[in-house]
Amino acid sequence: MPGSPVAGALPVRAAAATRSRDAAVTAAPASLRIVHCFRSPVGGIFRHVRDLAEAQVAAGHQVGIVCDSTTGGDLEERLFDALKPSLSLGVSRTPMQRHIGPGDLASAWRGYKIIKELQPDILHGHGAKGGVYARVFGSLLRVYRYRVARLYTAHGGSLHYDETSATGRVFFGLERMMERFTDHLLFVSEFERQAFRHKVGEPYPPSSLVYNGLRDSEFEPVALSPDAADFLYIGMMRDLKGPDLFIDALAQAEIRLGRDIRAVMVGGGDDLPRYKAQAARLGLEDRVAFLSPMPARQAFALAGIIVVPSRAEAMPYIVLEALAAGKSMIATAVGGIPEIFGASSPALVHPEVGALAAKMAEAVADPDAFAALMPQEEDLRARFGADVMAKEIERAYFSALG
């Protein structure tokens, strides 16, 4: 009917909504103030944050880091020193407890004051503790009308717990509650995304799968040192990563082969004395060298075959780094590792001493045949590039702000 307000109402509203969305995207700043919050500056999470920070600075963003001041050693300090000049929002370190306890309130208050001062557009939490801090602090900033998007990457974290245990139920209940304060979830492997769905539930906020990425320089082969050992373990010295499985398997592999095997174990942690005692108890002390943490590519030259005996993982950088460097590798079929090799790869084993020992004996008996089982460089570059990772995460940032 002429003059009826109904005939053109829906198209007009749709056009207005489109203009509103376009305006919101246009209003999003080209340069973001990004703060990464995590607890321990060691291992894969620290590597992930460093790569992201470098790529984000190169893209013109202002970046800062807030993390624990009580963990890390000389290697981490050198890595921080190399990174600090490029971070306009700085590196702020304050004590953060690994486990929930009375000191959390004081730690949280200190962290909140630091982040409030930085006034981020993006608050990106990594790992369980960093994820809680980032989302709680971001929500508090919104009370004061700060415009901040809250993102969370689990990196395994609390998802490693058994959902049937009391501890697991507590953590997964906390994860579900924290989704109310999350603008975007990021997963580093399909395994991690499915674990979240199984243990926590279908995510409430938008989510994305973004694999960890490698720089072009990391695809340069690493040559072996003249006195290279047979096997290398590199990583944190804690049972979750399986150094105890590696030592036991090494002893059994010697029995299978009927000869001595040499190994290098690189890493640090509170449990290191226990693993040294284990090697001594098995009569391996003269054939297993324990070395302090060092850059991965430096460690790769120390042995012909790398063993990753983890009991649980998300998407470990060390696997990607080693394969890109042209190294042969035995790895456990846990977490996102099969997504790198392919689920049926003969290089994968269960995290069990006998299976590891058999595969180690096989690999060292015919290293050329074992090397031929590794993924191809072209496939690794296409799926695990640092540039791809950074662009996908930046897309998630702007989506969360919109």
Residue-by-residue pLDDT tens, the chain, 402 positions = 434 333 333 333 344 444 344 444 444 457 999 999 999 998 889 999 999 999 999 999 999 999 999 998 898 999 999 999 999 999 999 988 776 666 678 888 999 999 999 999 999 999 989 999 999 999 999 988 788 999 999 988 788 888 899 989 998 999 999 999 999 999 999 999 999 999 999 999 999 999 999 999 999 999 999 999 999 999 999 999 999 999 999 999 999 999 999 999 999 999 999 999 999 999 999 999 999 999 999 999 999 999 999 999 989 999 999 999 999 999 999 999 999 999 999 999 999 999 999 999 999 999 999 999 999 999 999 899 898 899 999 999 999 998
Q: What are phi and psi of 346, to 5 degrees?
A: -70, -5
What is d(CA 317, CA 301) in angstroms, rounded to the nearest whole number?
A: 17
**pLDDT score at 29:** 54
Which CATH number among 3.40.50.300, 3.40.50.2300, 3.40.50.2000, 3.40.710.10 corresponds to the domain 217-383? Answer: 3.40.50.2000
Residue 300: left (phi > 0), alpha (psi -120 to 50), or beta? alpha
Q: Please give the structure tokens belonging to residue 121.
A: 């557009």
Q: Where in the chain are all domains bearing CATH 3.40.50.2000? A: 29-213+385-401, 217-383
Which CATH number among 2.40.128.20, 3.40.50.300, 3.40.367.20, 3.40.50.2000 corresponds to the domain 29-213+385-401? Answer: 3.40.50.2000
What is d(CA 207, CA 186) in angstroms, rounded to the nearest whole number?
A: 6
What is d(CA 184, CA 182) in angstroms, rounded to the nearest whole number?
A: 6
What is d(CA 299, CA 217) in angstroms, rounded to the nearest whole number?
A: 16
**pLDDT score at 203:** 95
Q: Reduce the secondary structure of the chain to three states and give it as a string.
A: CCCCCCCCHHHHHHHHHHHHHHHHHHHCCCCCEEEEECCCCCHHHHHHHHHHHHHHHHCCCEEEEEECCCCCCHHHHHHHHHHHHHCCCCEEECCCCCCCCCHHHHHHHHHHHHHHHHCCCEEEEEHHHHHHHHHHHHHHHHHCCCCCEEEEECCCHHHHCCCCCHHHHHHHHHHHHHHHHCCEEEECCHHHHHHHHHHCCCCCCCEEECCCCECHHHHCCCCCCCCCEEEEEECCCCHHHCHHHHHHHHHHHHHHHCCCCCEEEECCCCCHHHHHHHHHHCCCCCCEEEECCCCHHHHHCCEEEEEECCCCCCCCHHHHHHHHCCCEEEEECCCCHHHHHCCCCCCEECCCHHHHHHHHHHHHHCHHHHHCCCCCHHHHHHHCEHHHHHHHHHHHHHHHHC
CB atoms within 10 A of CB 75: 14
What is d(CA 329, CA 233) in angstroms, rounded to the nearest whole number?
A: 10
Q: Please give the structure tokens belonging to residue 14.
A: 């749709």
**pLDDT score at 52:** 95
Residue with tokens 């470990």: 316
Residue 342: left (phi > 0), alpha (psi -120 to 50), or beta? left
What is d(CA 280, CA 249) in angstroms, rounded to the nearest whole number?
A: 14
What is d(CA 293, CA 265) in angstroms, rounded to the nearest whole number?
A: 9
CA dihedral 347, 348, 354, 358 (to 10 degrees): -10
